[in-house]
Amino acid sequence: MKKFIKSGYINNVIITIICNYLNNISLGEIDFLIFLYIKIFKCKSSTINFKKYKFCSCISINSVICHGIPIFYFKKYNYIKIDICIKYIFYSDCCYISKNFFNVFFKFFLFYLIINLKNNKLYSYISLLLNKNKFNKLNIIKNYCSHGIFKKMHTNLIIKHNKNYYKKKIKNFDTFTLEPMFCYGINKNFHYKKIFFSKKNFFSFQWEHTLFNFNNKFIITTLRKNELCIFQ
C-alpha cells in the first residue's frame, strides 16, 4: 500500500510544479510540460493511448470540461482545471483548479463528505451525501461518476453521483476516486463528443482526488501542501 500512496504523492508533486507555469502559456504547452515531468519522475501517463487518447492530461477552461486539450492561451480565461492520471506501479488520479472561490467551497463540502464515509456503508451513500447538500448557485452534474482505481485506471467499481441504490459496501483497503462535477449557476448542460459544456456559459468545475481506505481512515493520497489549509 505504500507504493499506492507514493503514486498519489508523485501525482500531486507534478501538479504542484505545473501550477508555477500557468502564466502566458498555451494549454498544449502545459500538457507537454506535464509529459516532461512524468518522465522525470519515472512514471507513466495513464491517459496516453487509452482508447486512442493522445494527451497526458485533460484540461478544462471556464464553462467547458474537456477530455482533451483546447488550443487556447490560459491568459484569456478566468480559471483552468488540470486533470492528471499517472501510473507508478499503481494508478492515481487528481486535478488542480485555479479559482480560489471553488477551493473554499470544497472546504465546507467535500471534506465533510470524506469524514462521513465509514466501512460497511453503501457506495450509494456517497451519492446521497452529494445530493443532500444544497448550495446557492452550486449544482452537481449528476450524469458523471467517480470510480475505483488501483491496478487499473478504472476498475469495475462505479460511484454514481445521481441518486441510486448501488448495494456494494465500502470495505477496508478499498481505493477509489472522488471527482464530483459542479456547475456554478444552473446544472443544464450538453455534450459534443467527449466535451461537456454548461449552458449560458456558467462556470463548470470539478474536484478530484484518489482515496485509500486504511482501517476506516480515508487517506487522500493526492492531497497537495497548498490544500492543507483547506482540509485542516
Give domain limits for the chain: 2-97, 101-192+205-231
**Grid cell at residue 5:** 500512496
Using the predicted structure, report yes or no on whether residue 43 has a pLDDT greater than 50: yes
Q: What pLDDT sits at residue 35?
A: 96
Q: What pLDDT sits at residue 190?
A: 66
Which tops the pLDDT comparison, 199 or 1?
Answer: 1
Q: Which CATH architecture has domain 101-192+205-231?
A: Alpha-Beta Complex (3.90)
Using the predicted structure, report yes or no on whether residue 231 has a pLDDT greater than 60: no
Closest to 180 in 3D by CA, of 221, 216, 134, 146: 146
Contacts (Cβ under 8 Å, ≥6 apart) of 37: 14, 17, 18
3-state secondary structure 170-213: CCCCCEEEECCEEEECCCCEEEECCEEEEHHHCCEEECCEEEEE
Helix (H) or strand (E) holding 140: strand 138-140
Place of cell 492528471: 84
Helix (H) or strand (E) holding 93: strand 90-97
Q: What pLDDT sits at residue 69?
A: 64
The tally of CA atoms less than 13 A away on the side-chain side of residue 217 is 4
Using the predicted structure, report yes or no on whether residue 230 has a pLDDT greater than 60: no
Q: Give CA separation, 36 vs 54, 56, 204, 218, 229, in Å.
A: 15, 10, 28, 31, 29
Which tops the pLDDT comparison, 80 or 196?
Answer: 80
Using the predicted structure, report yes or no on whether residue 109 has a pLDDT greater than 50: yes
Q: What pLDDT sits at residue 228?
A: 66
Q: What is the pLDDT of residues 70-92, one digit of tens each?
A: 555 556 667 788 999 999 999 99
What gap in Å lies between CA 43 and CA 87, rounded to an integer?
Answer: 6
What gap in Å lies between CA 57 and CA 31, rounded to an integer?
Answer: 6
Q: What pLDDT sits at residue 232?
A: 47
Instruction: Identify the DSSP state of 63.
Output: T
Contacts (Cβ under 8 Å, ≥6 apart) of 77: 61, 62
Confidence label for 96 from pLDDT (cuts 50, 70 and 90): confident
Using the predicted structure, report yes or no on whether residue 62 has a pLDDT greater than 60: yes
Q: What is the pLDDT of residues 168-191, one digit of tens each?
A: 999 999 999 998 887 776 666 666
Domain 2-97 is found in CATH 3.90.230.10: yes
Place of cell 512514471: 43
